Amino acid sequence: MPGSVEVSLSQRVTRVTLRNAGKLNAIDIAMWHELRRVFTDVQAMPADQAPAAVVICGADGHFAAGGDIAEFAEFRFEPARLQHFHEDIVAPALRSMLECDVPLYAQIDGTCMGGGLEIAACCDVRICGEGSRFGAPIAKLGFPMAHSEVALLRRVFGETTLREMLLEARLYNAAAAWRCGLVHDVVADDAVATQVWARCERIADTLSPQAARLNKRTLRQLAAGDLTAAEREAHFAYADSAEHREGVTAFIDKRAPRFRSPPP
């Protein structure tokens, strides 16, 4: 039975659940396609309908293992098909996450490896439980990481950690992951969902969605190089926006700003 990517939509916080029963939620090809669709859809939503944050989690006590090895024999041993898999299936799914300007949260229980770690790396904030484990031990499977995936992990986690992780096929427990900067916080295993949800609710309750959207866009533009003059000018179009006026005015009036319509 193939895996699935389940989406639980709400106006405030969307939850995306990776599920591949009996396989630690290994990401199969259908799931990569589905991930791409989900995050492209979120990014395409009008600002007043988009969620305040998206939480990515896994079913049944694990975040996600790597690819689904049951599918490997079908495409991995032929160069053109292998390149197609990494460049036309995996990379666009990860890119759709990186190009989604809503704050993304990784709620990490249990196993977070390979493709699962790459999905987590596309999130803005990563919170894990004490029992979680991290790595990308593909050197045991005889293959290297594809370049766009190395580029992602190198940018987010740094070369020092990545070299040890790849060259030793090393696994990291939660404490080691925290020390290496793989995650923002470690909490008790039964508190991960609560902790992540609280952070998202606070965003929904008190912060400007426009500010998040523009900050994420700026970070993406900077990762691609210097901004053009047109991009710089476009950035400041927010000057006259309702959220900007509301935020500054509320501060001066010593009241809480109201950036979103209250939940229905």
How many whole angstroms separate alpha carbon 71 and alpha carbon 154? 27
Stated as kind and residue range, the H or E segment containing 107 is strand 104-108
Provide the β-strand partners of residue 18.
5, 58
CA geometry: angle 99, 30, 93, nearest 5 deg: 15
The answer to whether 37 touches 78, Cβ cutoff 8 Å, is no
Our CB check for a copy of itself shows the closer of 10 and 232 to be 232
Region 33-62 residues binding a copy of itself, contact defined as CB under 8 A? none
What residues between 148 and 187 interact with a copy of itself by CB under 8 A?
Answer: 150-151, 154-156, 158-160, 162-164, 166-169, 181, 184
**H-type alpha helices, 26-110:** 29-44, 72-75, 79-84, 91-98
> Of residues 33, 37, 235, 260, which one binds a copy of itself by CB under 8 A?
235
Q: Is 259 in the site for a copy of itself (CB under 8 A)?
A: yes
7-26 residues in contact with a copy of itself (CB under 8 A) are none
Cβ distance to a copy of itself smaller for residue 2 or 181: 181
Task: Select the residue interacting with a copy of itself from 3, 103, 114, 135 (CB under 8 A).
Answer: 103
In terms of CB distance, is 31 or 104 closer to a copy of itself?
104
CB of 74 to a copy of itself, least distance (A): 11
Task: Count the residues of the shown chain that bind a copy of itself, applying the rule CB under 8 A.
Answer: 81
Torsion region of 60: left, alpha or beta (phi above 0 gives left; psi -120 to 50 gives alpha): left
CB closer to a copy of itself, 1 vs 80: 80
Instruction: Count CB atoms within 10 A of the CB of residue 114.
Output: 21
CA distance 11 to 263: 7
Q: Would you put residue 7 in left (φ > 0), alpha (ψ -120 to 50) or beta? A: beta
Instruction: Give yes or no for residue 78 binding a copy of itself (CB under 8 A).
Output: yes
Q: Which of 17, 38, 56, 58 is nearest to 99 (CA)?
A: 38
Nearest distance from C-beta of residue 132 to a copy of itself, angstroms: 17
Does position 246 interact with a copy of itself (CB under 8 A)? The reply is yes
Footprint (CB under 8 A) of a copy of itself, residues 183-202: 184, 199, 202
Nearer to a copy of itself, 8 or 228 (CB): 228
CA dist 108 to 15, 81, 112, 236, Å? 13, 31, 7, 36
Smallest gap, in angstroms, from Cβ of residue 166 to a copy of itself?
Answer: 5
Intra-chain end-to-end CA distance of the chain, in Å: 38
Site string for a copy of itself, 113-152 (x = CB under 8 A): -----------xx------------xxxxxxxxxx--xx-
Q: Contact with a copy of itself (CB under 8 A): which of 47, 83, 88, 194?
A: 83
User: Rounded to the nearest whole angstrom, what is the least distance from the CB of residue 159 to a copy of itself in the complex?
Assistant: 7
Q: Which residue's CB is nearer to a copy of itself, number 60 or number 78?
A: 78
Residues 6+ apart with CB under 8 A from 263: 11, 12
